[in-house]
Amino acid sequence: MALPPPDPQYVLRGANDAVNTLCFHCADPKPELPLLFSGSSDGQIHIWNIKTHRMDRMLNGHGGKSVLWVKTLGNRNTLLSQGRDQNVCLWDLAEGRKDVTDSVFTDHAGFCKCSLLQVAERRWLMAMPGKDLEEVRVLELPSKTSVCTLKPEADAKLGVPLCLKLWQPSVGSSPSLLAGYEDGSLVLWNLSVGKSLSRLACHQEPIMALDFDSEKAKGVSGSSEKMLCVWRQNEQQDLEMQQTCQLTNPGIADVALRPDKKILATAGWDYRIRIFGWKKLRPLAVLDYHTATVHCVAFSDHSQSRERLMAAASKDHRISVWAIYNQT
């Protein structure tokens, strides 16, 4: 008989509005770590100490506008945050500071989250939605130098980009971007020439979230429909469908692969978190804790010797933290 789904290890409370985004930072070998960063619809960013299960600090730099995305930039004291105020802010958190030291104006008022990729020591690429509705801009950080602007052909009719994922096959290789669009299409972009390499019509509804396993050249996407799609990049660099998984209820707000690429988690509009084995997309568990839409899921970046954690955040203002399938 299958074991019943577990309960959360603990729940973080203190956000005063829907929690939209999460980011773990566990790499620094200090006893007060690891940390979990969250962003809420009231414009607040919370920093949680997940050893004490308490809030460490609260930041407010987006004028009360919803925070869509948070990501550490190399270390726990440098944070990027993206808000509905159309700004991406760079924070200096060293020695207890709460300072915004730089920002980029996106001129985009949608819900598409940025994507970050480290391409060399102290050098990152950041993809973000552009000024024109169908555009994606790619900048180099910390210089903010423009790398390229990606815009579909006029007759493509993809709609706006709703999710982005920067990746590169190996260190030193040319980075690429995967973008999911309003019409249900997935597009693979070559950043070196600013052109699309492949387009796959994998959903009939807008693609809300995607993640990609660069080692296996295989990715997953979710939409507002009752289906997960798994696709791959073949030897000709084209995207092709590999398999689909039918879901009980419609609506996936987020998908996330664990860093060891063993399991996949989805955040559902039906208030549930679903766990799958990544190799064959085998359903493993349905976690039923939240009382409203689950907006995002995130895995800790612990080393192999530590406990792996998963966090999920919801419209119900709560963040659930789970320890699941650590022996897979």
Phi, psi of 96, rounded to the nearest 5 degrees: 80, 5
* 266 contacts 254 by C-beta, under 8 angstroms: yes
Q: What is the per-residue pLDDT for 1?
A: 45
* 163 contacts 222 by C-beta, under 8 angstroms: no
Cα–Cα distance for residue pair 205/181, rounded to 1 Å: 9
Phi, psi of 291, rounded to the nearest 5 degrees: -110, 15
Q: What is the per-residue pLDDT for 145?
A: 96
Q: What is the per-residue pLDDT for 313?
A: 98
Q: From residue 29, give the alpha-carbon distance in Å to each of 73, 104, 137, 295.
A: 17, 31, 35, 30
Give the angle subtended at the CA of 184 by the CAs of 264 and 290, to the nearest 5°.
40
**For the residues of 248-312, what is the DSSP string, one character each?**
SSS-EEEEEE-TTSSEEEEEETTSEEEEEETTTTEEEEEEE--SS-EEEEEE----TTS---EEE
Q: From residue 286, give the alpha-carbon distance in Å to each of 77, 237, 247, 248, 300.
A: 35, 34, 11, 11, 19
What does DSSP assign to residue 226? Answer: S
pLDDT in tens, the chain (328 residues): 456 778 999 999 999 999 999 999 987 666 556 899 999 999 999 999 988 999 999 999 899 999 999 999 988 899 999 999 999 999 999 999 999 999 999 988 889 999 999 999 899 999 999 988 899 999 999 999 999 999 998 788 899 999 999 999 877 788 999 999 999 999 999 999 999 999 999 999 999 999 999 999 999 999 999 999 999 999 888 999 999 999 999 999 999 999 999 999 999 999 999 999 999 999 999 999 999 999 999 999 765 445 789 999 999 999 999 998 886 5
How many CB atoms are closer than 10 A to CB 122? 9
> What three-state secondary structure class fits 94?
helix
